[in-house]
Amino acid sequence: MAANLIIYCLDNLTDYSEFERLCHDLMLLEGYSSIEPLGRSKDKGRDAIYVNAAKKTTIFAYSVREGWRGKLAEDAFKIKKHGHTCDNLVFITTGQPTSGERDEAIACIRKQYGWDLEIYGSERLRILLDTKYPHIKKNYPSIFPPEFIIALEQINKFEERKHLFISYAPENLVLADWLAKRLTAEGYLVWCEHLKLLGGDKFPHDIEKAIKNQAFCIVALYSQPSLAKPDLILQRSIALSLIEERQEDFLIPIDVDGINKTKLDSKTQLLKFIEFQENWAEGLRNLLKKLEYIKCPKSLPEGAKVSLSAFLYEDTILDETEIVYSNYLKIEKIPNIIYLFEAENTSSDSEIEKMNLEWSYRQVDSKHFLSFHQPPTWISEKLQLHLSRNNCWQELINVEGIYTKNLVSELLRKALIVKCHQKGLKYCDETKLQYFPQGFAKGNRLNYIKHDGSKSFVQAFGTRTYWRPAKAEVYHYHIAPTFYISQNWFDNFSLQIRIRIRFADSNGIPLDKRKAVSRRKHLCKNWWNNDWLNRIFGVCQFLADENQIIIGDRENEQIIIQAMPTHFTAPIAIDEASIKKFKQDRLDLLNMRSDSEQEDIL
């Protein structure tokens, strides 16, 4: 192996001065930018020092002795004896401490002197010289003879560690597939078993050899199914052994479904897991930060193009224009006046909940309310409201101490909530969603007119069966629109609509968060952009009168929003017919199961 040549050279070096210089250079590259070499025979335990911006001092001690532990003790004693300032001690040796010896030395130095100790053994030096800074070897021919360098370069052509190996169970294939493509887009060379030629690289036949000799690290997807797979247990065991051998972050564990980490082996429990069970996007951001931190090589400069090719088939682009729809609606009219109302009475919590569904307002304090609209009669009488002031908000930076743009955004969003309530949507206290109840319309349908003028509909309420081993669970789903106001996007204020789903059991009781996530995957796994767009069309046209969503009875208080989402003309188009095969392939991917297991992988 390539590592043996490096270690052989370190074990047999005779030029200590050159070794000192090599260590100085490596520490400079490792981030000690202003390292000051000292060294020579009367160094008093110090071969170099480094003082950072916070005035913390790091002392470096180097050793080529076979008995590295004795040399460490001697150097530490000398540093203390001569009264040198020291906060951290970096000890570099051509020996190779075991994990137990390393832990003992760190604990001893901290207990005896109060310093933090960092050890670079021969294997860690090999990683620096062979992987991170391979060019530096040529500067030290007395340590690394040229003929050794030539041999090493020839071996490295075949043994270069530059791949990310994704270890996963078949049940986690969807996440593994997504991760492989996203990491490839970032420029990483990825090995993922079902993507045989991602990045032009074949998946290795000898996985054990590939992990040891060619993988930079393993991204391991930990889930309940993965814990019982012999192949995956072997892969993770190899990775854990290499962590000890190389003293590096070789295994990056991913928590897929909230596994009980206390039931894992003691070594794995010490690892820092990256959480993916709640939010894949956040998990990916943390994974990319980790890869950047460990300096994982990006060997695929056209990674984005390669990744895109894995998502799309050839000849999917047509040389013609196409209308592209967003989920933004244009707000055509906003009232000029924001009213300030003063109350003589206060309201109970239950009354406030009802008020929120029938009047869009911002409560300034217990007695004052801001709104575009006059309150309903029952609210006005209950609170004994009277108009205190009119505010022309376009001329003001703040209204009653509230930043005007944020106040307008809040009142617009709350006005949509009132509109939904008026149109028959129900509010769920547990999920905080407004949803279409069962029986709100004939057949529970949202009828709409497509952008091409044809008529269609989508189900706003439905029933599905979720199959589990030896058990079938019936659940209800309800379309639940949510609204956001964007500032200075298309116009000063634009409405963004998003479609969410409320899930409930057969008795209408909302499902807990964990169940809701699995049912969402079960229901929406084949909802593509067009399916979500159709539901946006259905919701918008349900709320609209003709082509406008109008909120407010009095003309001067009305909010008017276009019911048709903002759209653009793209210079090229997607050939929908050519991607039907891709859709079917994705469906097959999502429905893959192992031969021995029947549980839905989603």
Which CATH code for domain 161-311? 3.40.50.10140
Residue spans in the chain of domains classed CATH 3.40.91: 2-156
CATH 3.40.225, applies to 2-156: no
Three-state secondary-structure class, residue 476: strand
- Which pLDDT score, from 0 to 100, does residue 281 have? 84
In 207-298, the DSSP E strands lie at: 215-222, 251-255, 274-275
Answer positive or negative: Cα dihedral of 304, 305, 309, 313.
positive
Q: Give the pLDDT confidence of 43-78 residue by residue, as tens digits.
A: 677 899 999 988 999 999 998 877 888 889 999 999
* Intervals of the chain under pLDDT 50: 1-3, 157-159, 199-200, 312-314, 589-602
Residue spans in the chain of domains classed CATH 3.40.50.10140: 161-311
Pseudo-torsion of CA 384, 386, 391, 393, nearest 10°? 30
Q: For the chain, give me the number of helices (H) and strands (E)? A: 18, 30
- Which pLDDT score, from 0 to 100, does residue 38 have? 84
- Which pLDDT score, from 0 to 100, does residue 151 have? 65
Whole-angstrom distance, CA of residue 464 vs CA of residue 473: 8
- Which pLDDT score, from 0 to 100, does residue 162 have? 80
**Residue located via tokens 């499902």:** 511
Closest Cα partner for 43 from 59, 22, 24? 59
Q: How far is CA 583 from CA 194, 309, 323, 588, 590, in A?
A: 17, 15, 21, 9, 11
Task: Quote the DSSP letter at residue 545.
Answer: B
Give alpha helix (H) positions in 360-426. Answer: 377-383, 404-422
**Residue located via tokens 């820092």:** 272
Whole-angstrom distance, CA of residue 38 vs CA of residue 158: 40
Q: Give the pLDDT confidence of 112-146 residue by residue, as tens digits.
A: 999 999 999 988 898 888 778 888 888 898 888 88
Closest Cα partner for 186 from 306, 281, 80? 306
Whole-angstrom distance, CA of residue 545 vs CA of residue 547: 6
Q: How far is CA 309 from CA 303, 333, 366, 580, in A?
A: 10, 44, 59, 16
Q: Is pTM beyond 0.85 here?
A: no
- Which pLDDT score, from 0 to 100, does residue 595 have? 35
Burial class (CB in 10 A: 0-12, 13-18, 19+), 413: middle
- Chain centroid offset of residue 9 CA: 43
